[in-house]
Amino acid sequence: MKKTFLLLLLFMLMLSACMIDTPAPITGTPRSRSLEISPIERATVEPAYENENIPIQVAVLYQTGNAPRGVYEPSEGIYLAAWLAPHTSKRNFIQQSGKSHAVFVHEMHLDDEVPITWILQCIAALATPLFVVRPPLEEDCEIPIGDKISYLAQRLGTFQLPMFVAFYPPGHEMAPREYYIMFRYARALFMAHAPQVTFVWVAPGVESTVQNPFFPGHDAVDWVGVSLFAGRNKYGFVQDVIEQFKPFYHRFEAHHPIMVLPLGISHFSRADHTYHLQEAAAEIIRVYRELASFPRLGLVAYADAFGIAQTARDDFAISIENELMSAYAKAISNSHFISALEKDTVNDPQWNRSAFLGYYWEGRIYIAPETLQELSIPLPRSSVEINDATFVEASHISGADISFCDIRHVILVAIPD
């Protein structure tokens, strides 16, 4: 009896020691791990401000004269794109989201074989391939780097299809001058062997400018890309990706079409080992709605592949969580997000985003005086105060056609010729 008691006591002490070293348990809604391919209902989650009877600020877009568009830049709208994990079926993802995607993303190293099967899957889905090409995994002194780039260009060129190539995105260890030469050299080889491929420069971060030492020059860049990740800590989202994106957008909008490559909204972080599916679902809907207000934002690729942010801290994947996939389906149902590539490049009237927001409230439009000054429109005498700032009601403004777009949730200001 005494021996049994001692064994029991020893077992309890060992159990207590294990419990002390055990990390905090994962809480919240557990993973559904569902890969259902049947269409799902749209999320009912709405941004909180939609239900509040208060003035809400919205973006103001103004129209200027005709301007050349970039290669494959849509005349209006944003290409839907997805960066999926290798095992995720494009067909299933499209069926889950309820909408075809214009672009799918594939990450590869320069010395990898061209994924012919993956390209054929894109063709079957009527989607355009976007390759994120990183440096070779291993140095090979026998094959010059130029030959590897030329081989990839020739292989992609044989398909004679529109494609995007994001060449050597952040993560390489090259010095600025070396990177500058390599990017421009690759661009020249692709122009020779694969002229239908559009070259994308991915900025090192949202703080980048055209003076960034890694910027390869306007003549070598067709599109500019940037990554936006809403990571989490124990208090919520670490950053507002829209606020991060705004200054970056205004620095590059006059030069090139812009893509978000990729976008990720965290629903789980190891900061607190807790799932936040409902909060992430609402943020997905809000972010896509806000992105529709940037005229030269031409492509948004969602980061469904786990670990795509090169960190094991957050989980951005949506295709295995029904609630998140439902929110994504609702977010992209907006007709401003388009499912097919525009191959014809023409000059169209160009919309610009004002640096100053306006208000749309109770059917009336209010414009900031600073926006009118941008457009050289005379300020009317009457004005109103909204949230301690001065605004002008649109009916008092002459010399411009002002309207509100329900689809994009923006104010449009067109100046007649």
Let me know whether 251 and 159 are in one domain: yes
Residue at 409 is within a domain: yes
CATH at 110: 3.20.20.80
Average pLDDT, the chain: 86
| Domain range for 165 | 70-346
pLDDT given at position 308: 55
Task: Answer with the one of 328, 346, 364 that is the final residue of a domain.
Answer: 346
Alpha carbon separation from 167 to 103, 142, 148, 180 (Å, rounded): 17, 22, 13, 11
- Count of domains observed in the chain: 2
Cβ–Cβ under 8 Å, residues 69 and 304? no
Single-letter code of the amino acid located at 43: A
Domain end (from 292, 325, 346): 346
Q: How far is CA 6 from the centre of its chain?
A: 61
Report in angstroms the alpha-carbon separations of 230 from 26, 233, 239, 287. 20, 10, 6, 10
> Could you tell me the pTM of the whole model?
0.85
Q: pLDDT (tens digit, 9 = 90+) per residue, 153-182?
A: 999 999 999 999 999 999 898 999 999 999
Residue 250 is predicted with a pLDDT of 96
CA gap 80, 376 in Å, rounded: 36
The pLDDT assigned to 180 comes to 97
- The single-letter DSSP state of residue 378 is P
Q: Is residue 26 part of a domain?
A: no
Write the CB contacts of 132 (distance below 8 Å, at least 6 apart in sequence). 105, 106, 107, 108, 166, 169, 202, 261
Q: Give CA 266 to chain center in angstroms.
A: 13
Q: How much is the pLDDT for 346? A: 63
Are 91 and 231 in the same domain?
Answer: yes
For residues 312 and 376, membership in a common domain is answered with no
In this structure, the answer to whether residues 211 and 152 fall within a common structural domain is yes
Judge if 253 and 363 occupy the same domain: no
Residue keyed to tokens 């063709």: 123
Residues of the chain with pLDDT under 50: 1-28, 30-49, 51, 309-310
Residue 7 inside a domain? The answer is no
Q: Show which of 320, 346, 372 is a domain's final residue.
A: 346
Domain annotation covers residue 42: no
